[in-house]
Amino acid sequence: MTGHLPSFELDIRITYADTDQMGVVYYSNYLVFFEQGRTELMRHLGVRYKDLEETEKVGLPVTEANCRYRAPARYDDLICVRTKIKRIGGVHMEFEYEVVNKETGQTLVEGFTRHVFVNEKWKPTPVPKSLLAKLHTD
């Protein structure tokens, strides 16, 4: 499934704990920001990861992740994590991310993650119908 899929914007204030010795956001923290954006996008759609795990009995592990770093974020910057669902396949889902500085509008990081739906035995399983129903935007 492609086309007009949902997106969500999440603002995050950078803390000292997010930065490295050089005073910029440590590179792996962007993956944490991606996760926060993805989680809130799903929650915005009325789908909590916790419910997928408990009710649908599926997990959604990351199988691929990519970040392209364009400019640094620093302590106390306000950033916006723009998350959108890029594609949904038979057993997988892909998200795209853009992290921008809220004050300047500058793109800091672009990336994507790919996930596979797995059952309790960690075998690929179809995308839950309950999730597909939430994604249909007429």
Rounded Cα distance between 32 and 20, Å, is: 15
CB-based contacts of 78, cutoff 8 Å, min separation 6: 11, 12, 13, 14, 101, 102, 103
**CB contact at 8 A, 69 and 115:** no
Q: Which of 11, 20, 51, 138 is catalytic?
A: 20
**How many Å separate Cα 71 from the centre of its chain?**
20
20 included as an active-site residue: yes
**CB contact at 8 A, 70 and 30:** no
Rounded Cα distance between 42 and 107, Å, is: 23
Active site members: 20
